[in-house]
Amino acid sequence: MIRVHGRETSSNVQPVMWLCAELGLEVERLDVGGAFGGTDTAEYLTMNPMGKIPVLQDGDLTIFESQAILRYLASEYGRDAIWPSNARARAPQDQWMEWAKQNVAAEFNYKVFWQLVRTPASKRDHALVQSGIEAVNLLMPIADARIAEHGWLGGKTISLADFSFGVQLYRYYTIDFERPKTPNLDSYYARLQEREPYRTHAMISYESLRAVGA
C-alpha cells in the first residue's frame, strides 16, 4: 500500500494524488501539514528533514520532494507515454515538468496566490503581486504556444509535465486577477477538467487556506 503524508489542499500533494489516481494506484493519504500539524515530530523529520509535505512511503522506500515522488511513481507504475524509459523521449517532458515547477509555481503560487489568498490585505506586498503577474503574463503565453503545437505541455499525450502545471491552473483560473489571452491554454484546462482524477485531486477548494482579511 502506498502512503502519502500531506493535506489535500497542498499544491505539492495534489500532483502526487492526481498521478496515483491516473495510474489506478491504491493510496492511503494522511492529513499532515498546515492546520493538521505533525511535520515537526522527530518521526516525521526522519522521513523529511525539511518538515514539508508531501512524503511518500511505498514499502521500505520513503521519499520527499514532489517532483522526485512523481518521477518514482511514473517510473515504477506508469505506462511509457506518461514517463518514457527512453532518455531522449523523456528529456522534453522532464524539461517542461521542471519549467512549470521552477517558473509557474514559483511566480504564480508563491507571489500571486500566496499574496492574494494567504496574506491579509493589510500585510499584502503589492509590488510582489505585480512582479508575479508580470512574470505570469510572460509564462502563460509560452505554455499556450507549446500546447497549440503539441496538445499537452510535455508532448502529444498527458505526461509528468502536466501534473504540477495542471494543479497550478486550478488556482490560476479561479482567483481574480487579469490574465493574458491564451485560447489554447483555456481549452487545455477544459480538457483537464474532463478527467475525473484531475477534478478529484486538483480542483480542491483553497478557502480553508484563506487568511483572515485576505
Ligand X SMILES: N[C@@H](CCC(=O)N[C@@H](CS)C(=O)NCC(=O)O)C(=O)O
- Residues making contact with ligand X (CB under 6 A): 10-12, 33-34, 39, 52-54, 65-67
How many of the other CB atoms lie within 10 Å of CB of 35? 9
Residue of this chain nearest to ligand X (CB atom): 33
Q: Which three cell numbers stand for residue 146?
A: 507549446
36 vs 177 by CB, closer to ligand X: 36
The residues, ordered by sequence, that sit 6+ positions from 24 with a Cβ below 8 Å of its Cβ are none
* Least distance from ligand X to the Cβ atom of residue 51, Å: 7
112 vs 147 by CB, closer to ligand X: 112
* Least distance from ligand X to the Cβ atom of residue 156, Å: 26
Residue pair 8/201 in contact (Cβ under 8 Å)? The answer is yes
Helix (H) or strand (E) holding 55: strand 55-58
75 vs 130 by CB, closer to ligand X: 75
67 vs 115 by CB, closer to ligand X: 67
* Least distance from ligand X to the Cβ atom of residue 158, Å: 20
**How many Cα atoms sit within 13 Å of 57 on the Cβ side?**
13
Distance between CA 62 and CA 48 in Å, rounded?
9
* Least distance from ligand X to the Cβ atom of residue 12, Å: 4
Distance between CA 109 and CA 4 in Å, rounded?
22
14 vs 182 by CB, closer to ligand X: 14
* Least distance from ligand X to the Cβ atom of residue 190, Å: 25
